[in-house]
Every structure is written in C-alpha cells, then in structure tokens.
Amino acid sequence: MQSSFDRRRVNGPEESHAPVYDDEEPESSSMGAQRNGRSAKDVRPIFLKTGLISQANGSAYVETEKTKIACAVYGPRQSKSTTYSERGRLNVEVKFAPFSCKQRRAPLRDAEDRALAVLIHQALAPAVRLELFPKSTVDVFVLIIENDGIEGCVASGSVAASTALADAGIDMLGLVVSCAACVSPKDEIWLDPTTDEAISAKGCITLATVPALNLITNIWQTGQMSLDEMDQCMDLCQEQCLSTHSVVAQTLLDANKSPS
C-alpha cells in the first residue's frame, strides 16, 4: 500500500481494468483466418513527415494506419557522464502514451519500453557516425501515440528515428529502414503484421537494414519459425525496405526543398 503510492501524480483507484464485452470473442477467431483487405505482401500505407516538433533539433512523425509514432532528436549535446569517451553516445528512449493501447499503460511501470528502446538503438547505432562528436550525446525520444502491433512499432519507430536523425543533421552512413513480417497459421508470410495478426501468427521477425550499403543492422525474431521461413521473411522484408527507403528519401527531399 505505502510503496505503490505515487506522490508525484493524482492517484486514482488501486486497481482498474478495461471493460470486457461479450461479443469480443467471435471476432478474434475469424480474424485469424484472413487479413483485413490486404494481400500477404502489402504493408499499411505510410505517412512520414519531418520538422513537426520545433524545439527538437530533428523530428519525425510516422503513421501506418493505427500505429502513430512521434520521434524527436536532441543533440549533439553535452554528456552528463563523468567518464571521458572518444566516441559520442546514442541514447534511445521509447515511451508508450498511456492511451496508446487497448489496455491502459501506466506512465512509469512498463517493461516493454526498455525492450523496444534496445531494439531501436541496435538498429540505429551501426549507421550513426559516433566518432565525429566525442564526449557528446545524441538523445532520441520515441513516443508511441497509438499502437497496433509491437513489431510494427519497432519497425516504424526505427524509420522515424532514422528520419529524425537525418533531419537533425547527424552524420550517418545511411538511412536505416525497418520492416516486420510474420508467418500466419496457414504458413503464409504476411508483411507488416497488426496486433491481431501477430497474436495469431506462429512467429514474427523484424529486420532493420541500411539499403544504401546493403547492410543489416538488426534482426529480431519471436515465436516458432523454420530456417526456410526465416530466410523467406528476411528476403521479403529486405525488398520492402527498399520501397520504404524511397518514402523516407522523398520525405527528406521535400523537407529540404521547401524554404523553411
């Protein structure tokens, strides 16, 4: 009782749960068989824009239907660490808005924030030229406003963070683009799974690449997949990353073409 009391917030009830509706069950069972008006190789339409957060050095907003992510980059700025380092440091912080999922997420106690932050950091770190700003840090803040699939959040978050870094003028070897895929119960490979598709899938994989250098920076796989399925998923993700890369490129060109 005493330990869970938070003195920095308005405290509501000790426990609360989202309402459970009677007719929720049959919809999820029918969802497992098919996709919602999308073919296996389709990804959700991508909206990507830079420069929406004026205080940040660089920012990006990405939206793929029901996944909405805002990203801000601050830096290079002075590191608070007391140890000297020849290389700069890249910090990634991921936060879910409390209203971003069906179940409310408490603002502080979420273990998934850190896991996603590590994944996005691993996707970005090989592409950023950290040796060019010693003793400094670059802080990337990713806010997930609406969540429709954790794999989609990791993929879109990586794309948003990479675009924001380029918008901030951070030196990079190339733009990082990410894509997710899953194996459906009927052994079909679906790109860009939503929450329901990921739940019913046998396994999911998320791939982050630098298409300009043909470099893979991160692979994240969950569930049960055979090696052949993994290979096929990665090939499809890599093809899709090339398409997404052109979306990112167009966004950055538009941002730099128009007089700001």
Partner 1 sequence: MASSDLLLPGQPMALPRGPLPKVSEGLYERNGQIRASVVGTPQRDGPTFKIEKQRPHPPAPNSVVLGSVTRLSPSQAILSITVVDGIPLPHGEEFTGVIRSQDVRATEKDKIKLADCFRGGDVVKGIVISLGDARSYYVTTARNDLGVIFATSESGATMQPVSWQEMRCPKTGKLEKRKCAKPEGL
Question: 41 Cβ partners below 8 Å, 6+ apart?
Answer: 191, 236, 240
Q: Shortest gap between Cβ of 253 and partner 1 (angstroms)?
A: 6
**Residue 249 makes contact with partner 1 by CB under 8 A:** yes
The CA distance from 9 to 152, in Å, is: 31
**Residue 21 makes contact with partner 1 by CB under 8 A:** no
**Residue 87 makes contact with partner 1 by CB under 8 A:** no
Distances (CA, A) of 10 to 13, 160, 190, 225, 251: 10, 32, 43, 45, 41
Nearest to 209 by CA among 247, 252, 170, 180: 180
The interface mask with partner 1, positions 102-141, x = CB under 8 A, is -------------------------x-x---xxxx-----
**Residue 75 makes contact with partner 1 by CB under 8 A:** yes
The CA distance from 122 to 52, in Å, is: 25
Query: Contact 130/88 with Cβ under 8 angstroms?
Result: yes
**Residue 77 makes contact with partner 1 by CB under 8 A:** yes
Residue placing its CB nearer to partner 1 in the complex, 79 or 156: 79
The CA distance from 179 to 213, in Å, is: 17
**Residue 74 makes contact with partner 1 by CB under 8 A:** yes
Contact region with partner 1 (CB under 8 A), list: 6-14, 72-80, 112-120, 148-156: 72-80
Question: Site residues (CB under 8 A) for partner 1?
Answer: 55, 57, 74-79, 81-85, 127, 129, 133-136, 166-175, 210-213, 249, 252-253, 256-257
